[in-house]
């Protein structure tokens, strides 16, 4: 006698497969630590006055976040969370914040301030020329 799978079994299997495919879109944890910057070197991101001291600004198209931990000190990091590849959504309270699972990264060095991410945001190269911040 052939046993037919229960409706619940089929639905659970289908849901798990869909979830697996959907999550793979975010790339998962990666050991490479590298990220691609969409814009080319020399592209102006912002004026220095646009980056608040103790805060930062996210540039979605360039996939970079620029921070100013201390007056006159500018840092840049990939805006892709190292946990599961979501894009960070805000900079506040001294951290760069990911909306997907609550990971937070310190604006001064990109290190993890709040898991589940366990790797820092990769640093990106910028240059400050006068009052202009550009990709290096």
The CATH number covering residue 45 comes to 2.102.10.10
Q: Tens place of pLDDT for every residue, the chain, 136 residues?
A: 556 666 655 555 555 444 444 443 344 433 334 444 456 788 899 999 999 999 999 999 999 999 999 999 999 999 999 999 999 999 999 999 999 999 999 999 999 999 999 999 999 999 999 999 999 9
How do beta strands 126-129 and 112-114 pair? unpaired
Structural domain containing residue 125: 26-135
User: Has residue 105 been placed in a domain?
Assistant: yes
Q: How many domains does the chain have?
A: 1
Q: What is the pTM of this model?
A: 0.71
User: Has residue 21 been placed in a domain?
Assistant: no
């Amino acid at each position: 006698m052939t046993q037919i799978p229960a409706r619940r079994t089929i639905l659970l299997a289908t849901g798990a497969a869909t979830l697996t495919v959907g999550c793979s879109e975010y790339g998962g944890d990666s050991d490479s630590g590298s990220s691609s910057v969409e814009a080319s070197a020399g592209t102006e991101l912002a004026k220095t006055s646009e980056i608040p001291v103790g805060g930062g600004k996210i540039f979605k198209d360039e996939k970079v976040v620029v921070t100013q931990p201390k007056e006159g000190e500018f840092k840049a990091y990939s805006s892709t969370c190292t946990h599961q590849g979501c894009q960070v959504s805000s900079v506040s309270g001294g951290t760069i914040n990911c909306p997907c699972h609550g990971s937070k990264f310190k604006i001064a060095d990109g290190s993890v301030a709040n898991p589940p991410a366990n790797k820092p945001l990769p640093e990106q190269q910028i240059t400050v020329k006068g009052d202009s911040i550009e990709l290096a």
